[in-house]
């Protein structure tokens, strides 16, 4: 009897990251578990006049190995360079031989929350200083946020479903969720999915500072991002990319792939409440997690670990804690809940995919990454946030949360692969 499309199983077989703590999954995972911090004073420009002078920058990355030529590198914005490089890392990690796959059934969804802000800023200076005739003919292709997804498919001749999600900080969780759904529905066999972001430019930092969204703990860069801590005062901007290889189970098994875990559920809801603030008591986030658990056919008590959105903002961390309590009830006290943004900063549209890679490693290795800089408990945020040190524990199933401006919510559920 033919397989019901909805019963197709989807596994993670490759992980690619570009982060302030490593440009491949092994070094990144090692540094996260060690409690390392990628935050420091901004070096990409003079930030001395800004309310927030800290960021988590990607340093010493040579994108050239992921591009066909130096010319193609120059024609790619920084966010695209990150996304294409992370995609290549995911490909290498997966062990896929593209010469042996059906490229019509291999797709790409790499999104971005903001896109080519470096190009916008640079070309606007050219326009004002030299006039419209000097604006680069590559300005538009460089700044549009679908270009990481487009170029990666071009470089590797991947002709399956291809698009780019854009839902602020929920972008790459949505990308992974939609890629999962694409495979489940039989429209692809393999999907590269994730997100990329590079907004540490004067305009980007100024805009977020104007919103009063960022920490001003400028004298203590390494301690500035402190999710769920009583003294949190805003997030710190990060940059980078994460790309996950999702694969239909039968295909993965036939080629003898290493399987990190199985993706089993996806939630996607709207707060419909406020442009930037979460819905009261995290109501939209709670519905999102509940939807993800329903689609996974997983009971709340089966979840071991939540990689929280946990941005280090006063209201956001509180509302996520409330949402977890709403969905998990008494089991919330038994969960490990950590945010890795104290180490990486908030990578906006890349955050979900980078954190999904951490969930996959946590499930594979039965180690939960810590929430660093957790020093002073908040009586209203009273769960187990895995403070300051990684925790060895059985991780049977995990939830990955991402919530974005505009009221976008995306949650993913993954579990140990069995049979």
CA-based radius of gyration for the chain: 20
Q: How are beta strands 261-270 and 367-368 bridged, if at all?
A: unpaired
Last residue of a domain, one of 211, 226, 254: 254
Query: What are the angstrom distances between the C-alpha of 121 and each of 44, 75, 202, 216, 413?
Result: 13, 15, 8, 24, 38
Q: What are the tens digits of pLDDT across the range 47-70?
A: 999 999 999 999 999 999 999 999
pLDDT band at 276, cuts 50/70/90?
confident
Q: Does residue 25 fall inside a structural domain?
A: yes
Is it the case that residue 3 has pLDDT exceeding 80?
Answer: no
In this predicted structure, what is the pLDDT of residue 29?
Answer: 98
CB 113 within 8 A of CB 197: yes
Q: What is the largest CA-CA distance in the chain?
A: 68
Q: Is residue 180 part of a domain?
A: yes
The residues with which 399 forms a beta bridge, in sequence order, are 306, 413
Contact 332, 151 (CB under 8 A): no
| 88 close to 16: Cβ distance less than 8 angstroms | yes
Using pLDDT thresholds of 50, 70 and 90, give the confidence band for residue 263.
very high
The range of the structural domain enclosing residue 356 comes to: 266-415
The answer as to whether 259 is a domain residue is no
Q: Is the pLDDT of residue 347 over 60?
A: yes
CA pair distance 278, 179, nearest whole angstrom:
26
Task: Report the distance separating Cα 410 and Cα 170, nearest Å.
Answer: 6
Same domain, 219 and 352: no
60 and 12 together in one domain:
yes
102 lies in the same domain as 192 = yes
Residue 5, both tokens: 């499309």
156-207 per-position pLDDT tens digit: 999 999 999 999 999 999 999 999 999 999 999 999 999 999 999 999 999 9
Tell me which residue of 281, 277, 276, 244 sits closest to 263, measured CA to CA.
Answer: 244
Active site residues: 169, 309, 346
For residues 103 and 144, is the Cβ–Cβ distance under 8 A?
no
Does 291 lie in the same domain as 204? no
| Domain containing residue 390: CATH number | 3.40.47.10
| Average of per-residue pLDDT values in the chain | 96
Pick left, alpha or beta for residue 212 (phi over 0 → left; psi -120 to 50 → alpha; otherwise beta).
Answer: left
Tokens 């995919």 identify what position? 353
Domain assignment present for residue 261? The answer is no
- 181/286 same-domain check: no
What is the model's pLDDT at position 278? 85
Q: Into how many domains does the chain fold? A: 2
pLDDT at residue 118, as a whole number = 97
| Bridge pairing between strands 261-270 and 40-41 | unpaired
The full length of the chain comes to 419
Q: What is the pLDDT of residue 40?
A: 98
pLDDT, position 185:
96
Q: Do residues 273 and 236 both lie within one domain?
A: no
Instruction: Give the pLDDT of residue 166.
Output: 97
Alpha-carbon distance 206 to 211, whole Å? 9
CA distance 65 to 81: 10
**pTM, 2 dp:** 0.96
Residues 327 and 221 in one domain: no
Q: Looking at the structure, do residues 183 and 210 belong to the same domain, yes or no?
A: yes
Question: Is the pLDDT confidence value at 152 over 90?
Answer: yes
- What pLDDT shows up at residue 384? 97
Q: What is the pLDDT of residue 5?
A: 61
What pLDDT is attached to residue 1? 37
């Amino acid at each position: 009897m033919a397989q019901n499309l909805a019963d197709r199983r989807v596994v993670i077989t490759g992980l690619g990251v570009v982060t302030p703590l490593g440009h491949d999954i092994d070094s990144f995972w090692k540094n996260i578990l060690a409690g390392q911090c990628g935050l420091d004073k901004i070096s990409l420009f003079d930030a001395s006049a800004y309310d927030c002078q800290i960021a988590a920058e990607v340093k010493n990355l040579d994108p050239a190995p992921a591009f066909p030529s130096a010319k193609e590198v120059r024609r790619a914005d920084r966010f695209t360079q990150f996304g294409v490089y992370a995609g290549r890392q995911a490909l290498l990690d997966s062990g896929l031989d593209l010469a042996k796959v059906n490229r019509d059934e291999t797709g790409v969804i790499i999104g971005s929350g903001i896109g080519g802000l470096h190009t916008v800023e640079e070309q606007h200076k050219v326009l004002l200083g030299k006039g419209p005739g000097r604006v680069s003919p590559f300005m538009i292709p460089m700044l549009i946020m679908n270009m990481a997804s487009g170029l990666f498919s071009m470089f590797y001749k991947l002709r399956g479903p291809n698009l780019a999600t854009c839902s602020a900080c929920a972008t790459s969780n949505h990308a992974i969720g939609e890629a999962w759904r694409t495979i489940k529905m039989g429209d692809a066999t393999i999907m590269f999915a994730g997100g990329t972001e590079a907004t540490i430019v004067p305009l980007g930092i100024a805009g977020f500072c104007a919103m009063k969204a960022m920490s001003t703990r400028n004298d203590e860069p390494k301690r500035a991002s402190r999710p769920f801590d009583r003294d949190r005062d805003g997030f710190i901007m990060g940059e980078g990319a994460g790309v996950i290889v999702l694969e239909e189970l039968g295909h993965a098994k036939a080629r003898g792939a290493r399987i990190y875990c199985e993706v089993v559920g996806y939630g996607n809801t709207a707060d419909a409440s406020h442009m930037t603030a979460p819905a009261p008591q995290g109501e939209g986030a709670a519905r999102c997690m509940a939807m993800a658990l329903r689609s996974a056919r997983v009971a709340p008590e089966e979840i071991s670990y939540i990689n929280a959105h946990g941005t280090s903002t006063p209201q956001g961390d509180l509302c996520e804690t409330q949402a977890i309590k709403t969905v998990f009830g008494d089991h919330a006290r038994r969960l490990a809940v950590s945010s890795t943004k104290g180490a990486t900063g908030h990578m906006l549209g890349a955050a979900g995919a980078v954190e999904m890679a951490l969930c996959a490693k946590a499930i594979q290795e039965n180690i939960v990454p810590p929430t660093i800089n957790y020093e002073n408990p908040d009586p209203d945020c009273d769960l187990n946030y895995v403070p300051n040190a990684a925790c060895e524990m059985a991780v049977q199933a995990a939830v990955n949360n991402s919530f974005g401006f505009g009221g976008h919510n995306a949650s993913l559920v993954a579990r140990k692969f069995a049979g």
